[in-house]
Structure 1
């Protein structure tokens, strides 16, 4: 299982500002980068994450993690050390190709066989191809 990229305090502050949860305004390029990541579908979010992993992780966290704002605020205040990332560590997500929605697993960090979205939808990986995703 992979871990989420580390999010620096400056990145957390920039993303929090963009979404109206405190923080401080980034420069114009970074402001446009955050806007692009936020507007992108999941395929393009993944492409942007290859080059800007910390910004992509922070945007995805604030959009899909029910504790994303709180966790980013904690990082922004310096309450998380550089190597520590309080974001959910499970990289799995349930993607709905019809709507473009990505519902991230919010199960506690660490190994688990059953994944769960914030709304309670559960699934396992790999999804059995003989069953349909619960959309």
Structure 2
């Protein structure tokens, strides 16, 4: 939901951006887009039965989007499969660095992924953060 406020902090208008998200978590805005982690997509299972989570991307001028919670949803930027059978909880924290790279934490696996975005805001590469930080037990609340 987008809330427009006046100078005194009073809400002037509310607009539903996306409806029916199952478990939205982290939110970041960059350029003309809003990025939202969805910690699990219960209707979707990896063939192994493991949890699937994702990052959605919405244009800032979009509204009244009906989220399907399926892999066919056109707003899904990328998905994650949580490998840890004891903590089936996925995409959590989300942040951008000054170069525009997107970092997403996978809570259950204790991973942070660096997503290098192309000019078109699509992913040009996914780099596991264990290549540049030490192992984590869980990953939550990513910020710079």
More strand by share: 2
Higher relative contact order (CA 8 A, sep 6+): 1
TM norm structure 1? 0.28
TM norm structure 2? 0.27
